[in-house]
Amino acid sequence: MKPSWMMYKDTPGHGYYSVDPEHWNRMQQEHPELLTKTAFFHGCNSFEEDCEVHRITLAFRDEVPEEWVKHADHWLINSHPEMYEAYTGRKVDPRESRELQRKSFAKMTRNFYVAYSASNGSSWVPTVPEGFVGVYFTMGQRDTRHWDKRRPVRALLIPKDEYRNRPVGFSFYIEDPSLYDEWKLSNI
């Protein structure tokens, strides 16, 4: 059950939480590190319901259920590891954080073609031959929040077995696109 000082507002698209003025002032004074602006938090008393609400939980961890705190710690480590480090003083190991792993992968693959969409062929994509997967690649890891249309895009045919055996956890990437046939998209 949520505390009485924490309010929820539903909207047609997505809801958010806010706190009463006393808790908002305390949060600003005692935990300014949790008020760092990000893509889904703009520095005001409005916290997106799925993720950013965990900032409230961490600021008032003694006033909410312990289970909430576990989820909040996990979310902050994975989504905003630098904020977690500022909040706790503990350095986050890259193996603990999806965001640190994503950044490491992006750095490692910045000069490789990284897959962002694939099709194994069907009646609506008849240009993928049997035994292949049609894969769209872009140079470097694509950041879905900021699509850069200037980055080169390639459509290649990857053998199904090779695609099926790609590493789990990150996007499929290739170092040498010349090893694969272009995926002709003219019939789409």
The tens digit of pLDDT for each residue in 50-61 reads 889 999 999 999
- Residue 164 has, within 13 A of its CA and on its CB side, a CA count of 6
Torsion sign (Cα): 86, 92, 96, 102: positive
Domain map (residue ranges) of the chain: 6-104, 109-182
- Is 116 within 8 Å of 136 (Cβ atoms)? yes
- Per DSSP, 27 falls in state H
Mean pLDDT of 53-79: 94
Least confident of 3-7, 23-27, 100-104, 148-152: 148-152
pTM, rounded to two decimals? 0.69
Q: What is d(CA 108, CA 88) in angstroms, rounded to the nearest whole number?
A: 28
